[in-house]
């Protein structure tokens, strides 16, 4: 019998027919990473709530389909029919249909990330500002042209549910979807709930307040594994009457638009409606993963077998959760049907061959899930990957040599490209790359097999990037952005409980040394469109446009994902008074830690509503008043930073 070791909370549940088999959640977090999972009588899989992140999208899509069943929504009608206040700077927005929201083909730029994850704070302002947020934006593609993941699409779906039903999103899904299934524990931050029912989360091994995702329709539901399994029965062969059979069939049908960009076998709300490894056995599996700042979840359903598995955790990733749910279901299939797992293909076979001449046309600059250049020399393909770590991005370029195989794949022998890109550890990846030519573009597609923690091998496929069209920036614009090389811009107006402060709180970049018409920032390429503007380019998940304004010798950077930043000239050194007050603008106060204060300890008193955040010289968080039961005595590191965030008038006094 396998033993599981986790330094976190974990809940798993398996639904086989009508039998629910919960795996008990472990005891409170143990700082010993080898602490075995233990049963705690008051923390069971059925009653502990976890944020399910983007698994919420399946609930949102179900709510839309239910309203369609009732004749209140036509999936092929424009969104603006139901939301008259929805407008955009790009007139093509009028072509966006409700269906396009659910299959990620709306063409919206991406995600409103600002204040989307808050610790211990309930704030519904993103709901109220999403329409204003979108009103000034362009589209990244013709509506319906291709499917690529879109959080904002599901925020619009949330608003449609409310407009058509006359209920809040929380009320609608509770009354019409979850409670009829006996899944009455599921909540959002706007529900009435007991905070002790929510699983604890930790940062740097320190207890954090509850992590709430404020964008409810795309990721704001908290649920239990038993509730998730109850919800999954909607999509099974013997399904309850929450949705019509036609809507159930539509939801789990492959819905991705555009053959030239591959971002997944999307259903309506589902990431994949023909998921690996079950497709190897001609078994349909539909699945959805979700991640918040602190929580991770996966739900996998085998409709024809009336089976599902749900996994939630407060550490790890939805990828790990998905692999565990697959293991549960493979074991269940073995028990109930005698299914024997076969050894999967885990490599890309073929003999080295001459690169076909038509592939030489693919040389150039690419942007998408990754930013890189392709070049060909001496029958090899060279992929130069760009990244933005803690030093100069141009100095951190890494070039990989790939060999062409007669099976049509390029393989890398001198490194692992995808493991450099993907946020995974403790896994083994084998990868192959294909060059795809479409009528309007050149694209690089990646396929890879990954092995984690001894569980079954996983297979994934994705469009890595598309080649950028020729673009020429003006000389004045290139000069202006050259002056901003390596300049840092710090978070300015995030709410004081925002998860935005928990990771690197600034952005920065520099003109690309490969092509000076582009600025490389946070691992992505931006076209230099003006002296004070950048435009993120490519066909990818989140496209971000940037603009800069200047006031009182300080540059202020605004991004279309909702974040605002101030240039490093905004920072001050710690003064003798050591008292900092949030002004009428509500902006976060930032200070550098200089030689004078480095190597000392401080405690900080707060009068009002706010938090402080202390970082090292690389922007990594080392202490914060957000940590519960904090010692309130913090060590200051040379060239680090302190942020004071709060409501207007909040005072911070350093001792």
What pLDDT is stored for residue 15 in this prediction?
60
* Beta bridge mates, 546: 534, 559
Among candidate residues 406, 405, 367, the one with its CA nearest the CA of residue 541: 367
What confidence tier does 23 reach under pLDDT thresholds 50, 70, 90?
very low
Q: How far apart are the first and last CA of the chain?
A: 54
Residue 88's pLDDT is what? 97
> Would you place residue 319 in the very low, low, confident or very high pLDDT band (cuts 50, 70, 90)?
confident
- What does the pLDDT read at residue 13? 63
Strand, helix or coil at 131? Answer: helix
pLDDT recorded at residue 345 = 77
Per residue in 500-537, pLDDT (tens digit) is 999 878 988 888 877 899 998 877 899 999 999 999 88
Average pLDDT over residues 38-54: 64
Helical residues (DSSP H) of 292-431, grouped into ranges: 318-337, 417-421
482: CB partners within 8 A, 6+ apart: 511, 516
Backbone phi, then psi, for 181, in 5-degree steps? -95, 0
Query: In sequence order, which residues have a C-beta less than 8 Å from that of residue 158 and are 6 or more positions away?
Result: 60, 127, 169, 216, 217, 218
* Element housing 621 (H / E): strand 621-624
Q: Is 504 helix (H, G, I), strand (E, B) or coil?
A: coil
pLDDT for residue 333: 93
Burial grade of 41 (CB within 10 A; 0-12, 13-18, 19 or more): exposed
pLDDT in tens, 403-438: 999 999 999 876 678 877 765 556 677 889 999 988
For the chain, the domains span 10-337, 357-467, 475-561, 572-654
pLDDT confidence band for 85 (50 / 70 / 90): very high
Q: How far apart are alpha carbons 198 and 193 in whole angstroms?
A: 9
314, 48 in Cβ contact below 8 A?
Answer: no
Q: Which of 142, 57, 63 is nearest to 106 (CA)?
A: 142
Distances (CA, A) of 185 to 46, 48, 123, 239: 9, 9, 21, 21
pLDDT at 43: 38
- Which CATH architecture describes the domain 357-467? Beta Barrel (2.40)
* Residue 426 confidence (pLDDT): 60
Banded model confidence at residue 453, pLDDT cuts 50, 70, 90: low
Reported as a pLDDT band with limits 50, 70 and 90, residue 368 is confident
pLDDT of residue 413: 79
Look at residue 349 and tell me whether its pLDDT is greater than 70. Answer: yes
Across 455-479, average pLDDT:
89
Q: Is the pLDDT of residue 92 over 80?
A: yes
**Does this model's pTM top 0.85?**
yes
Across the range 35-44, mean pLDDT stands at 33
CATH architecture, domain 10-337: 3-Layer(aba) Sandwich (3.40)
């Amino acid at each position: 019998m396998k033993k599981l070791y986790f330094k976190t909370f974990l809940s798993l549940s398996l639904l086989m027919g009508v039998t629910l088999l919960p795996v008990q959640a472990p005891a409170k977090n143990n700082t010993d990473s080898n602490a075995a999972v233990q049963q705690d009588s008051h923390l069971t899989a059925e009653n502990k709530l976890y944020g399910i992140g983007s698994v919420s999208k399946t609930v949102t899509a179900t709510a839309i389909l239910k309203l369609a069943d009732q004749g209140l929504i036509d999936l092929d009608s424009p969104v603006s029919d139901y939301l008259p206040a929805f407008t955009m700077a790009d007139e093509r927005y009028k072509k966006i249909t409700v269906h396009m929201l659910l299959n990620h083909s709306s063409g919206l730029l991406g995600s409103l990330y600002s204040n989307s994850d808050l610790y211990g704070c309930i704030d519904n302002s993103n709901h109220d500002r999403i329409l204003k947020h979108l009103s000034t934006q362009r589209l990244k593609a013709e509506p319906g042209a291709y499917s690529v993941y879109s959080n904002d699409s599901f925020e619009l779906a949330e608003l449609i549910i409310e407009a058509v039903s006359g209920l809040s999103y929380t009320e609608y899904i509770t009354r019409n979807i979850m409670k009829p299934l006996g899944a009455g524990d599921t909540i959002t931050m706007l529900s009435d709930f007991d905070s002790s029912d929510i699983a604890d989360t930790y940062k740097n091994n320190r207890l954090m307040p509850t992590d709430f995702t404020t964008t409810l329709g795309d990721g704001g539901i908290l649920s239990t594994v038993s509730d998730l399994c109850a919800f999954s029965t909607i999509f099974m062969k013997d399904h309850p009457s929450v949705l019509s059979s036609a809507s159930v069939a539509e939801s789990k049908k492959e819905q991705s638009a555009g053959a030239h960009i591959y971002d997944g076998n999307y259903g309506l709300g589902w990431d994949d409606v023909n998921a690996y490894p079950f497709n190897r056995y001609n078994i349909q599996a539909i699945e959805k993963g979700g991640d918040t700042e602190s929580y991770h979840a996966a739900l996998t359903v085998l409709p024809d077998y009336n089976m599902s598995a749900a996994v939630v955790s407060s550490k790890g990733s939805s990828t790990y959760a998905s692999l565990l749910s697959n293991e549960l279901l493979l074991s269940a299939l073995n028990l109930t049907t005698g299914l024997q797992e076969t050894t999967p293909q885990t490599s890309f076979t073929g003999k080295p061959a001459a690169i076909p001449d038509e592939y030489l046309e693919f040389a150039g600059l690419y942007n998408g899930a990754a930013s890189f250049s392709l070049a060909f020399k001496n029958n090899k393909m060279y992929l130069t990957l760009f990244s933005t770590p803690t030093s100069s991005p141009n100095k951190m370029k890494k070039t990989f040599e790939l060999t062409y195989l007669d099976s049509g794949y390029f393989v890398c022998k001198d490194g692992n490209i995808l493991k450099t890109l993907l946020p995974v550890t403790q896994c083994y990846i084998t990868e192959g790359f294909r060059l795809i030519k479409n009528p309007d573009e050149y694209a690089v597609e990646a396929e890879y097999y990954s092995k984690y923690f001894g569980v079954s091998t996983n297979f994934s496929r994705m469009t890595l990037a598309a080649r950028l069209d020729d673009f020429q920036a003006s000389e004045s614009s290139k000069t202006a952005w050259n002056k901003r090389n390596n300049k840092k811009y710090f978070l300015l107006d995030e709410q004081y409980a925002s998860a935005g402060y928990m990771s690197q709180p600034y952005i920065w970049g520099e003109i690309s040394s490969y092509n000076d018409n582009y600025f490389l920032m946070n691992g992505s390429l931006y076209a230099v469109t003006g002296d004070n503007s950048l435009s993120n380019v490519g066909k990818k998940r989140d496209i971000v446009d940037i603009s800069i304004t200047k006031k009182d010798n300080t540059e202020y950077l605004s991004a279309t994902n909702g974040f605002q930043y101030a240039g490093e000239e905004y920072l001050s050194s710690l003064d003798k008074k050591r008292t900092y007050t949030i002004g009428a603008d509500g902006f976060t106060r930032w200070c550098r830690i200089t030689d004078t204060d480095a190597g000392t300890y401080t405690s900080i008193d707060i009068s009002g509503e706010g938090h402080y955040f202390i970082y090292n010289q690389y922007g990594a968080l080392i202490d914060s008043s957000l940590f519960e039961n904090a010692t309130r005595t913090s060590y200051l590191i040379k060239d680090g930073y302190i942020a004071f965030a709060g409501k207007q008038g909040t005072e911070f006094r350093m001792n």
